[in-house]
Amino acid sequence: MAVNPYVPIRAKVKEIREDTSETRTFVISPEVSDAKSRFAFRPGQFLQLTVFGVGEAPISVCSSPEDLPLIQMSIRRIGTVTEAMHDIRVGDFVGLRGPYGNGWPVEKLKGRDVVLVAGGIGMAPLRPLMSTSRNVTDKSGSTTLCYGARNPSLLMYKSEFPRWTESGASVKLTVDQGDAGWNGRVGVVPALLDDLEVDKASAVALTCGPPVMIKFTARKLAQLGYKPENIYASLESMMRCGIGKCGHCHFGSKHVCLDGPVFSYSDMLSLPKGLAPI
């Protein structure tokens, strides 16, 4: 019997980590024996997360596929479902559907310099690439992460930065506003893109964050000489079904849930005006 794509799979919350004042990371284990294959995902894909009795929201997977059957999702409190998710405790059950979406163009990264640009919780869908940067990307180029947040307390996954640096990635941080303990750079994320030692003509840039950040990052990258077809952004949208039926994520003729959420800059430029942050 065919699987009903609308019915969520029950999953147990195993662990909850407080990342920042706004976000928590949940470690979730689907209650099916074939979770590893059922939920096999590509970095950049998302799941439809159900808080039973409240509703559903599309949330990116922020763990590596290697950690399956465990799945991690970082959730920021912004609406009804995500607020309710922050009331969830270890041992509670949530629902999962997916994985959906296209994910990052991992195959394209081979042999190229890779620049990841993240803002705030936008780091979440990029984290699967960092946590196994050698294995997932399997490339011989360099990996640079440019990551910023409004202030130092909103930077996520801080405890993992040393490991990322160890594995060979260059981690560049910035905040809009520093605090007493901050010795690092102050400024907007796109400013980190200056002076990167990468082969811009062939490098691939992957970005995620607030729409205004994506807009200026993409523009800056194009100005610096990165090719529009090599610049990718993970876009947000209102969603309901996640499988291209309900119409809520229509971006022109594309569905963010089917053709996205990752779009190349050249694709974004060809979408009807006002839809993509360009």
Partner 1 sequence: MTSFYITESSLKRLVDQLAKEQIVVAPVREGSGFSFKRIADSKGMCLDFTNSTIPPKSVLLPQLEELFTYEVKSGNVKTAGSAGDGTVTLIGVRPCDSSALSILDRVMGGEYVDPYYSKNRERTLVLGVSCSKPESTCFCNVFGTGPVEGSGDDVTFTKVDSGYVTRPKTGRGKEFIKKHADYFREATEKELELFERESDRVTKSMETKLKIEGLPERMSKAFDDPYWQELSRRCIECGVCSFICPTCYCFDVVEEVNGNQGRRSRGWDTCQSCRFSKMAGGLDPRPTKPDRLKHRFYHKLQYMPMTFGAISCVGCGRCVSRCPSNVDIREVIAKWQ
> Which one-letter DSSP state was computed for residue 219?
H
Is 266 exposed, middle or buried (CB count within 10 Å of its CB: 0-12, 13-18, 19+)?
Answer: middle
Residue 228 lies near partner 1 (rule: CB under 8 A): no
Binder among 6, 90, 110, 138 for partner 1 (CB under 8 A): 6
What part of residues 159-218 is at the interface with partner 1 (CB under 8 A)? 211
Among residues 58 and 141, whose Cβ is nearest to partner 1?
58
Among residues 181 and 274, whose Cβ is nearest to partner 1?
274
Reported in sequence order, the residue ranges of the chain that DSSP labels E, i.e. its strands, are: 9-18, 23-30, 46-51, 55-60, 71-76, 93-100, 114-119, 143-149, 170-175, 185-186, 204-208, 231-234, 250-251, 254-255, 262-264
Residue 273 lies near partner 1 (rule: CB under 8 A): yes
Q: What is the spatial distance between Cα 51 and Cα 59, in angstroms, rounded to a whole number?
A: 12
Residue 29 lies near partner 1 (rule: CB under 8 A): no
In the bound complex, what is the minimum distance in angstroms from residue 249's beta carbon to partner 1? 8
How many residues bind partner 1 (CB under 8 A)? The answer is 44
Q: Does the N-terminal peptide bond of residue 228 adopt cis geometry, omega within 30 degrees of 0?
A: no
In the bound complex, what is the minimum distance in angstroms from residue 206's beta carbon to partner 1? 21
Q: What is the spatial distance between Cα 206 and Cα 264, in angstroms, rounded to a whole number?
A: 9
Q: What is the spatial distance between Cα 134 and Cα 136, in angstroms, rounded to a whole number?
A: 6
Binder among 248, 266, 269, 278 for partner 1 (CB under 8 A): 248
Residue 33 lies near partner 1 (rule: CB under 8 A): no
Q: What is the spatial distance between Cα 38 and Cα 66, in angstroms, rounded to a whole number?
A: 14
Residue 243 lies near partner 1 (rule: CB under 8 A): yes
Signed CA dihedral, 158, 160, 165, 166: sign only: positive
Residue 91 lies near partner 1 (rule: CB under 8 A): no
Among residues 201 and 238, whose Cβ is nearest to partner 1?
238
Question: 182 in helix, strand or coil?
Answer: coil
In the bound complex, what is the minimum distance in angstroms from residue 248's beta carbon to partner 1? 6
Residue 274 lies near partner 1 (rule: CB under 8 A): yes
User: Identity (one letter) of the amino acid at 229?
Assistant: E
In the bound complex, what is the minimum distance in angstroms from residue 92's beta carbon to partner 1? 8
Binder among 16, 32, 54, 196 for partner 1 (CB under 8 A): 54
Give residues in contact with partner 1 (CB under 8 A). 2, 4-8, 10-11, 50, 52-57, 78-82, 93-95, 211, 236-238, 240-241, 243-248, 250-253, 258, 272-275
